[in-house]
Amino acid sequence: MISSGNLFAGIRPRRDAETIATLLATPDLRIERIVSHGQASPPGFWYDQGWAEWVVLLSGSATLRFESEATPRALAPGDYVHIPPHVRHRVEATDPEQATVWLAVHHR
C-alpha cells in the first residue's frame, strides 16, 4: 500500500502536551513525527531505550543532553543525531515560541 502525507500538516498552535504521530511502523522500524511546544523531559528523567533512534529537527529548536557528555547539544533545523541503544539522554528544552517538529526513526 502506498501512503503519503505532509510532515507539517495538522500542526496546531501551542499545546500543553507534546504530540506524537506514528507515520510508519514495522517490526524493526518506527518513524514518528513529534511536535513540541516548550516541553522538556521531567527533572531527573533519562531516556534509556532498548533500540537505536535517529532524530532530525525540522523546525523550532531544542537542547538535548547526553549523560556521557559534559554539555548539552543545541539543535537547529536540519541538525540530526543518531542515538545508539541504552545511551541515556533527555530533552532539556524545546522552543516555547514556535512548534519544534522532530522526525524520529527508531530501529533495531
* CB contact at 8 A, 106 and 29: yes
The pLDDT value recorded for residue 15 is 75
Domains of the chain: 19-107 (2.60.120.10)
Write out the three cell numbers for 49.
531505550
pLDDT 10s digit of each residue in the chain, 108 long? 899 999 999 998 877 889 999 999 999 999 999 999 999 999 999 999 999 999 999 999 999 999 999 999 999 999 999 999 999 999 999 999 999 999 999 999
Q: What is the DSSP string of 36-84?
A: ESS--PPTT--B--SSEEEEEEEES-EEEEETTSSS-EEE-TT-EEEE-
Model pTM?
A: 0.94
pLDDT at site 16: 85
